[in-house]
Amino acid sequence: MLTNGIILVLASLGLAQGLFLSFYLLTLKNGDRKANLFLGLILLGITMRIGKSVLNYYVPLVEWQKNIGISGIFFASPSLYLYGLTILEKKKALSDKYYLHFIPFAFFLFLIPFVPRNGRFEALWNYGLVVFFLLIYLVLSFGLLYRNQLKVSKRVLQWYRTILLGASLIWFYYLGNLFDFTPHYISGPIFYTFLIYSFSYLFLNRHKFNLEKYSRSKLDKDSSKGLFQKIKVLFEVEEIFLEDGISLQTISEKLNAKSRDISQAINENRQQNFYEFVNHHRIERAEDLLRSTKHKNEKIATIAYEVGFGNVTSFNVAFKKKTGLTPSSYRKKATS
């Protein structure tokens, strides 16, 4: 009896944390709202699926209630892929064709009252179909990760890879259930609890949330977005990042804005500090040059100075931090 109580508490903690994070992301207005939406749907869908297992273990559910829990995977799986498109390929707007991925969810939702869940068909529907559906999107997502490994920062790659690893572990658990390899049915929700708390730590660490940092700032959200658009023009049109010794003061003087407001605008709209933002643009330019056949004989040092770095050492460190490769290794891999 005591053991069952402990198991229930552990499983419930994971579900509560999963729901909290998913609803937080679904309502978060800062940063990339589309990416937050898809990440929230991933967590919500998996939490619904795990929640069905917990509830059914302690309180037997009727058939339609079980099917609602199952439906979570049908919108979490495509969200996993669409989240990757958003953060890896930086698609600000997805065309209508991408939302066709949610048709299986809508179809299943319509069939919820009619789907039988007994005998052999239950095993096929509850595990076989769901396991196969999630597998399809794991394959698509890992393919997306592979195609973009040279185009995005190392931090983004690690983040998305971590999410895919967590989803893969959940998939392996359900695969074990399908073939009766899992000793205890309720072990899945307990495993999910540890997984969701690990994810929470990584999530908070990645976004570096500091609620007090700009608590006294008079810069509201609209002003922050407007200022960030001006900063983007300086970086993407005027290419100010190519200047050696660029600083917040440099941008402040050009835009006639406070340095603190510029820092806040970049932090809130790009989740980067000023120097991460500058180096991001410099390394992107360096990647273009290293991939270019026109510059194939150009020395690494020359490219470092050309994109705005004051010395080769800092260039090498920043480049490897973003791409996971040294500039010379990147050039060799990109041109092979």
Number of independent structural domains in the chain: 2
CATH code, domain with 131: 1.20.1070.10
Query: What Cα–Cα distance (Å) separates residue 118 from each residue in 62, 66, 110, 115, 126?
Result: 11, 12, 19, 10, 10
Return the pLDDT at 211: 38
Residues 89, 201, single domain; the answer is yes
Q: Which residues contact 71 (CB under 8 A, 6 or more apart)?
A: 48, 105, 108, 109, 112
Query: What Cα–Cα distance (Å) separates residue 3 from each residue in 11, 51, 69, 113, 186?
Result: 12, 19, 25, 35, 12
Residues 200, 233, single domain; the answer is no
Residues 123, 201, single domain; the answer is yes
End-to-end CA distance of the chain: 62
Residues 186, 310, single domain; the answer is no
Return the pLDDT at 186: 55
Q: Are 315 and 250 in contact (CB under 8 A)?
A: no
Residues 199, 298, single domain; the answer is no
Q: DSSP code of 209?
A: -
Return the pLDDT at 150: 78
Q: What value does the CA radius of gyration of the chain take, rounded to a whole number of Å?
A: 24
Q: Is residue 216 part of a domain?
A: no
Nearest to residue 163, comparing CAs of 272, 84, 53, 74?
Answer: 84
Return the pLDDT at 164: 92
Residues in the chain predicted with pLDDT less than 50, given as ranges, are 1-2, 208-212, 215
pTM of the model: 0.62
CATH code, domain with 311: 1.10.10.60
Q: How many residues does the chain have?
A: 336
Q: Is residue 51 part of a domain?
A: yes
Residues 139, 162, single domain; the answer is yes
Q: What backbone torsions phi and psi does residue 265 show, to the nearest 5 degrees?
A: -60, -40
Q: Are 169 and 195 in contact (CB under 8 A)?
A: yes
Q: Over the stretch 138-187, which tens digit does the pLDDT of each residue have?
A: 999 999 999 888 777 677 788 889 899 988 988 887 777 766 665 555 56
CA distance linking residue 86 with residue 34, whole number of Å: 7
Residues 178, 244, single domain; the answer is no
Q: DSSP code of 112?
A: T
Q: Is residue 188 part of a domain?
A: yes
Q: Which domain holds residue 269?
A: 221-335
Return the pLDDT at 15: 77
Return the pLDDT at 306: 92
CA distance linking residue 99 with residue 126, whole number of Å: 24
Return the pLDDT at 225: 85
Q: Is residue 212 part of a domain?
A: no
Residues 233, 195, single domain; the answer is no
Residues 39, 80, single domain; the answer is yes
Residues 27, 75, single domain; the answer is yes
Q: Is residue 286 part of a domain?
A: yes
CA distance linking residue 87 with residue 70, whole number of Å: 27
- Amino acid identity at 289: L
Residues 236, 166, single domain; the answer is no
Nearest to residue 174, comparing CAs of 127, 136, 132, 119?
Answer: 127
Which pair of structure tokens corresponds to residue 104? 């299986």
Cα maximum dimension of the chain:
72
